[in-house]
Amino acid sequence: MCLSTVYKNKKEEACVIMRNVMRIECRDDCVILTDLMDRSAVIEGELVEANLVDGFVIVRENIPA
């Protein structure tokens, strides 16, 4: 099983959105994350990078105008 840590904008500890993410969906300009405990988080933005070997994902958050 490949679980990942998802970061907002850059791979830094202070930017962690969610750990142990098992599912990522991109829908309607949002990235929907679901972790191993079936908790969800929705980030308005886009997927920038997914490195499943190293277990990290970077999401760029949209900043409202």
Distance from chain centroid for Cα 22: 10
**Strand 56-61 and strand 4-8: pairing?**
parallel
Rounded distance, CA 45 to CA 57, Å? Answer: 13
Write out pLDDT tens, residues 27-51.
Answer: 999 999 999 999 999 999 999 999 9
Write out pLDDT tens, residues 8-25.
Answer: 999 999 999 999 999 999
Helix intervals (H) in 1-65:
none
- Domain holding 35, by residue range, is 4-61
Is residue 2 very low, low, confident or very high in pLDDT (cuts 50, 70, 90)? confident
Structural domain count of the chain: 1
For 6, 31, 34, 52, the CA distances from 61, given in Å and listed in that order, are 12, 9, 17, 20
